[in-house]
Amino acid sequence: MELDAIIQKRTTIRRWDPKPVEKAKIEKVLEAGRRAPSWGNTQPWRFIVVQDKAEIEKVSKASGGQPQVGTAPVLIVCCATTEDFTKKGHGEALQSLIPVGAMTPELVEIVLQSDVFAPYLRGEAVMAIRAGEQLMISVAFMMLAAVNQGLGTCCAGAITPREVHQAMNLPDNILVHTILALGYPGEDPKPRPRKDASKIIFWGKYKA
């Protein structure tokens, strides 16, 4: 499917066809997320694929009992870690760019000493913000890949991360951010309305 058509077709799915999703299709969705761009190649995302019905129910309860989560054939619990934004983690990510010509040893040192480019210099809160920001780029890639596989998604961000974290018994360094429900659509909703381009796009300068 052409990318433009995928973008136009993507919409939130809340009712699912109960048939299982093939592993190969799930892997293609995850690969799209893995290939997403990230700040300094840090790739701070971690994805937990949940297919067991009992586990899905557990995650659903921890997510406020949202029906589109509890009835989905697959859940991808989308997490981030700030470890990839520590000096060590960020440094290793930057070093990985040297062999492909996107970084030099000298530039690595410059980046790691700049509080503009190195979030660890600005504290844990900024690191968490950057990790979540990069994660959502990856989630967007997965949502589009799902459409290309004939699947639908629902990005469930209205959750209490702490409760999902506890329900899944995750380590402290993993931050739950959102849940991507995935499956074959059981509905064909109309595209949601979008603001007119003239209200959000400005050429040259912003006009109120």
pTM, entire model: 0.94
Distance CA(129)–CA(51), nearest Å, equals: 29
Whole-angstrom Cα Rg for the chain? 19
Tokens, residue 182: 């995935």
- Please report the pLDDT score of residue 125 as a whole number: 96
Domain extents in the chain: 3-36+45-83+127-186
Report which of 122, 161, 143, 182 is spatially closest to residue 36, judged by C-alpha positions: 143
Which residues neighbour 20 within 8 Å (Cβ) at sequence distance 6 or greater?
Answer: 73
Q: Mark the ranges of the chain whose per-residue pLDDT is less than 70.
A: none
- Please report the pLDDT score of residue 20 as a whole number: 96
Distance CA(205)–CA(208), nearest Å, equals: 10
- Please report the pLDDT score of residue 158 as a whole number: 87
- Please report the pLDDT score of residue 208 as a whole number: 84
Please give the CATH superfamily to which domain 3-36+45-83+127-186 belongs: NADH Oxidase (3.40.109.10)
pLDDT digits (tens, 9 = 90+) for 28-76: 999 999 999 999 999 999 999 999 999 999 999 999 999 999 999 999 9
